[in-house]
Amino acid sequence: MGRKLLTEHINVEGIDTFEVYRKHGGYRSVEKALKTMTPDEVVEEVKKSGLRGRGGAGFPTGMKWSFLAKPEGVPRYLVCNADESEPGTFKDRQLMSKLPHLLIEGMITSSYALGANTSYIYIRGELLYVLRILEKAIAEAYANGFLGKNILGSGYDLDLHVHPGGGAYICGEETALLESLEGKRGNPRNKPPFPAVQGLYARPTVVNNVESIAAIPVIVNMTGDEYAKIGVGRSTGTKLISACGHLNKPGIYEIELGVPVEEFIYSDEYCGGIWKGRELKAVVAGGSSVPILPKELILKTAAGENRLMTYESLSDGGFITGTMLGSGGFIAMDETTCIVRNTWNFSRFYHHESCGQCSPCREGTGWLEKVLHRLEYGHGHMEDIDLLVSVAKQIEGNTICPLGEAAAWPVAAAVRHFRDEFEWHVKHPQEATRPGAVYPGKAVLA
Amino acid sequence: MAKITFDGVEVEVPDGTTILNAARKIGGSIVPPAMCYYTPLQGSGGKCRACLVRVAAGSAKDPRPMPKLVASCVTPVQDGMVVENTTSEQVLNVRKGIVEMLLINHPLDCPVCDQAGECDLQNFAFEHGVSTTRYQEERRTFEKIDIGPLIQLHMTRCILCYRCVYTANQITDNRVHGVLGRGDAAEIGTYIENVIDNDFSGNVIDVCPVGALTDKTWRFKQRVWFTKPVNAHRDCSHEKCPGRVVLWYKGKDVLRVTARKDQYGEVKEFICNECRFEKKETADWVIEGPAHIDRSSVISANHYELPVLNQQVIADLPESSVRDLEQNPPMKLGN
């Protein structure tokens, strides 16, 4: 069993209260940072740790922090992105509802490192009960002198606010999040300027994922060098994986990066294999927007090496034979899953969630969904399969924000790896649209 | 100052200029098309993706190419930047894709649309698109809403450039309309049915690149290419209105009044509603003379002598035409 850095005390009774959390070593990083370290030293520790953004893109957090513009006399902001809405990803919700003080501790330490005196947690609107947990925890932190003026007598002030979103997936994109936080329509901004230069209220801003911020206290406590020893290569530390789908034991697992995918799926320590004794068919490894991979390619890379749960190993082979670790939303599908229906379902989500600002995404996501719907319900033609690839290509890379790519990748990957199943839907529409129909497989058809 | 190379042409522009404006300084056919960007409106641009260009070298300091195509209307130039527009196959292909995307839900009702002939989308599709579509589904429609006696909203034609939203914010006193909904269900509307009534509200008609917002007082009166634009001015009592306009004549009648636009279709000076909707008599105006019409504009069609004909394409030309052609040889393309 790997080490648990974030979720070590997650099952302790009353850990969401200040006293119990403090008793289990909580807020030590705030004391250490504020009393013995300068802000730059904290940033340096985070850089050394090699922590990579846990929200999906995997950009090194320390590097992101060092890009923050620091003009004199201008306030800076830290914003925590808690707008977790990617289908398949549900790690932050659990972390925040069980360990609200861990996030608050991370926010204090990180804000100190960045020199921010006002920080925000932008939480997904649907998670109102978590918002209440966080607000209660923040009130406790204020009462105990960890938030407010002159924290622990260090002269450092910090105000922390929680702000709920209005229920749009797009507000998880950092610039759309900032727009929404400012009270405007959540449309992503054009970049440049990047948030590190002009973010919230046109001030320098850092936006970090909940899990990234929750890892900061751990790094400060154990030092960056120690943290960097966990994991493989440039994928350091631990990562929360929210496993769902046709698994015996779906749930949230904290893994040390570097666990083989095969072990993660089949060992009893983690997901315990595929349910009902069935075969694994495909895996979406990092939330619905990353490319889907068939069993052969998710367990082993194209070169025949074991695939590990790391940023590098999962993306081995690029998008031809690889995928991404993304935000850690691990969706496993058994042999009875219809890939066409699944792809249609994903597309329907992106069609619904596109903000409608830029034309390729606004029109393209709807187009993809309609073509997939046609294929799934037995009205497709052979040309439609190539049409899907072509439309996906027209969206990818030409949009303001990454939602366009998130909509295009799963479709392109599904066609790339499961073209025969799409063709089966076209050739045998009656068979394919029968309720409970299962694709018999290439071998059977041949 | 920053020196950039655009499609092989060097140009020097002040720091902070966008790539698009640098290209406009060069001018000609290398200027990327723009459907949503509008110089007088702050914050506009970046949405339609028609102006995407390839940055082959980011700057003199960091000459790496940019990983994705960038929207030239919102990306500032860097010294030493090398940009490819018409010289890049990738850009031209992507632009074809953008045309296709903009048209899949467009009703293509040009024959009954008042904007036809001066429509940015028409020009854009004609110059950069393909003439077929691969879209077979139903086009999206919207419930019609009435936004008052002066302006007609056709939401199905809208390409969501947000220009009218910025205009209402920046030119008029208050904004009562905006973008509601999201994705391809996003629409221009007033949240509670509301009349857009403001001294400068008529400008949303001029900034609209398509026929989504048209002038109700000119609706179905005449095709634009049968009218004659004439520059005129008057002493407008409204302090913010310059009173300099274009009158569109058919015979002796002023059919409509619009603001003057530059060669990129951008309004030079915004005019008030009184000038636009109420002063439709020649007596109200001091006539300056014919307005300049771009040679490529559809309005100028047939106004220039010597038709450009290709005899090979039109196989059985009537004899009278052949005789005419021999006496008056047509202008050769490319001359």
In order of their start, the domains of chain A are 18-229 (3.40.50.11540), 233-334 (3.10.20.600), 339-437 (1.20.1440.230)
Which residues constitute the domain of residue B127? 102-131+139-215
pLDDT of residue A292: 96
| Structural element, H or E, at residue A295 | helix A295-299
Q: Do B140 and A170 touch (CB under 8 A)?
A: no
| Chain B residue numbers touching A360 (CB-CB < 8 A) | 49, 97-98, 101
Both B83 and B113 in one domain: the answer is no
Q: Are residues B161 and B242 in the same domain?
A: no
Kindly state whether residues B288 and B313 are assigned to the same domain. no
For chains A and B, CB pairs below 8 A equal 95
Kindly provide the ipTM of the predicted complex, given to two decimals.
Answer: 0.89
CB-CB neighbors (< 8 A) of A356 in chain B: 160, 179, 181-186
Size (chain B), residues? 335
Q: What digits encode the pLDDT tens for the residues A172-225?
A: 999 999 999 999 999 999 988 999 999 999 999 999 999 999 999 999 999 999
Q: Do B46 and A190 touch (CB under 8 A)?
A: yes
- Per-position DSSP letters for B53-105, written without gaps between them: EEEEE--SSS-PPPSS-EETTTPBP-TT-EEESTT-HHHHHHHHHHHHHHHHT
Report the pLDDT value the prediction gives residue B191, as an integer from 0 to 100.
Answer: 75
Nearest alpha carbon to residue A278 among A241, A242, A245, A243: A245
Which residue's structure tokens are 């467009």?
B106
Name the minimum distance, in Å, from the CA of A44 to any CA of chain B. 26
The answer to whether residues B246 and B283 belong to one domain is: yes
The partner residue sitting opposite B52, judged by closest CB among A185, A357, A398, is A398
Label residue A214 exposed, middle or buried (CB < 10 Å: 0-12, 13-18, 19+). buried
Contact A358 B159 (CB under 8 A): no
Based on the domain organization, do B52 and B82 belong to the same domain?
Answer: yes
Q: For residues B191 and B173, state if they share a domain.
A: yes
The pLDDT tens digits of the residues spanning B103-123 come to 999 999 999 999 998 999 998
Domain holding B15: CATH number?
Answer: 3.10.20.740
Asked whether residue B151 falls in the same domain as residue B209, the answer is yes
Last residue of a domain, one of B148, B181, B215: B215
Among A197, A353, A363, the residue to mutate for chain B (most B Cβ within 10 A): A363
Q: Give the pLDDT confidence of B20-68 residue by residue, as tens digits.
A: 999 999 988 899 999 999 999 999 999 999 999 999 999 999 999 999 9
Tally the domains of chain B: 4
Q: Answer yes or no: do A394 and B160 touch at CB < 8 A.
A: no
Q: What are the residues facing B83 on neighbouring strands?
A: B6, B55
Q: Does A190 touch chain B (CB under 8 A)?
A: yes
- Same domain (yes/no): B253, B317: no
CB contact under 8 A, B49 and A394: no
Average pLDDT estimate for B200-205? 94
What φ, ψ does residue A294 adopt, rounded to 5°?
A: -75, 165
Separation of alpha carbons A359 and A395, rounded Å: 9
What Cα–Cα distance (Å) separates residue A185 from each residue in A166, A176, B180?
Answer: 10, 8, 9
Is-contact A143 A102, C-beta < 8 A?
no
Determine whether the interchain pair B184/A398 forms a contact, defined as Cβ–Cβ distance below 8 Å: no
- Specify the pLDDT at position A313: 94
Share of chain A above pLDDT 70, in %: 99
* A77-99 per-position pLDDT tens digit: 999 999 999 999 999 999 999 99
Domain boundary among B215, B244, B270: B215
Burial of A104 (0-12, 13-18, 19+ CB in 10 A): buried
Per the CB < 8 A criterion, the answer to whether B291 and B246 are in contact is yes
Same domain, residue pair B66 and B30 = yes
pTM score, two decimals?
A: 0.91
Per-residue pLDDT for A294 more than 90? yes
- Same-domain check for residues B240 and B279: yes
Q: Residue A354 and residue A404: Cα distance in Å, rounded?
A: 8
Other residues' Cβ atoms within 10 Å of the Cβ of residue B165 = 21
What is the nearest CA distance from A385 to chain B, expressed in angstroms?
Answer: 12
Is residue B276 domain-shared with residue B332, that is, in the same domain?
no
| A206 three-class SS | strand
Which pLDDT belongs to residue A304? Answer: 92
Q: Do B117 and B180 belong to one domain?
A: yes
b/e per residue, A341-358, with b = 16+ CB within 10 A?
bbbbbbbbbbbbbbbbbb
- Between the alpha carbon of residue B18 and those of residues B14, B25, B51, B81, the distances in Å are 9, 11, 12, 12
Amino acid identity, residue B262? D
- pLDDT of B182: 92
Reported as a pLDDT band with limits 50, 70 and 90, residue A444 is low
- In this predicted structure, the answer to whether residue B297 has a pLDDT above a threshold of 80 is no
Averaged pLDDT of chain B: 88
Per CB-CB distance under 8 Å, the chain A contacts of B159 are 359
Please name the amino acid found at residue A238: T
Closest residue on chain A to B133 (Cα) = A387
